[in-house]
Amino acid sequence: MAKKRRRKKKIKLWKFGLFVLLLIAGFFGTIRLISSIGSHSVVSESDTPKTTSVNREKFIKEIAPHAVELSQAYGVMPSIIIGQAVLESNFGQSELAAKYNNLFGIKAYGDVPKIKLDTKEYVDDEWITIKGEFRVYGSWRESLDSHTQLFVNGVDWNPQLYRGVFTATNFEEAAEAIQEAGYATDPTYAEKLIAVIKQYHLNSYDLNQ
């Protein structure tokens, strides 16, 4: 009887140890999953500096007045303009924004100032890194103008490509229209843009038009 009890005790200890190991493995697996969410950007920036709340507020305040001006002139919501600038440029601190004044990851076509950089694209259900040619601007203001003109004029093969941005009644609808138009390959682009607008209350600029 004593041997059987010891054997049962060993089996219980072995099961308990296995349970603990599975629990630990599950914990670290969850941590890895959480850390991967939102890790993909339109432009790959391996050395992008971290932003502080002060830097974020300063960036938003710097571009907001012109975003409102563009909205009043053309009808694109300020929250969309500012939100995309935040999302695409990491508050103006990405390499493309800091060195080349491109706040929106706008690609270069034809005979225009351009720079070739690594970019992440979502193709066939996976993220790949490729070389892309991006516009180079003289200032952030020029980048803001170009972004709005893209929405206004569309592209050569479809001048009405971004029409949904202007017919939208709120920023959520406008964000969905931008994704449907194919502005970015990220399948969660609209979701991320809406989250940025909500987090930094950028829709308050829509109310002040």
Residues with Cβ within 8 Å of residue 118, at least 6 apart in sequence: 43, 44, 129, 130, 131, 132
Sign for the CA dihedral angle at 42, 44, 50, 51 comes to negative
Least confident of 5-9, 51-55, 85-89: 5-9
Span 74-101, average pLDDT = 97
Which residue ranges make up each domain of the chain? Answer: 1-37, 53-106+139-207
Q: What is the pLDDT of residue 131?
A: 77
Is a pLDDT exceeding 90 seen at residue 121? no
Which tokens go with 54? 């002060």
Give me the CATH code for the 53-106+139-207 domain, please: 1.10.530.10
Predicted confidence (pLDDT) per residue in 68-85, tens digit: 999 999 999 999 999 999
Spatial distance between the Cα atoms of 15 and 57, rounded to a whole number of angstroms: 53
Q: What is the pLDDT of residue 17?
A: 53
The CA-CA-CA angle for residues 54, 60, 66, to 5°, reads: 150
Query: Regarding predicted confidence, which is higher, 72 or 128?
Result: 72
Span 119-142, average pLDDT = 79
Spatial distance between the Cα atoms of 66 and 86, rounded to a whole number of angstroms: 15
Q: Give the number of residues written for the chain.
A: 209
Please report which residue ranges of 2-111 form alpha helices under DSSP H.
2-36, 53-74, 78-89, 95-100
Segment holding 147, helix H or strand E = helix 140-153
Q: What is the pLDDT of residue 75?
A: 97
Predicted confidence (pLDDT) per residue in 43-53, tens digit: 434 344 577 88
Is a pLDDT exceeding 80 seen at residue 181? yes
Q: What are phi and psi for residue 61, nearest 5 degrees?
A: -65, -30
Least confident of 12-26, 73-87, 117-131, 156-170: 12-26
Greatest mean pLDDT range, 32-41, 108-117, 180-189 = 180-189
Q: Look up residue 40 and give its amino acid.
A: H
Q: What is the pLDDT of residue 108?
A: 87
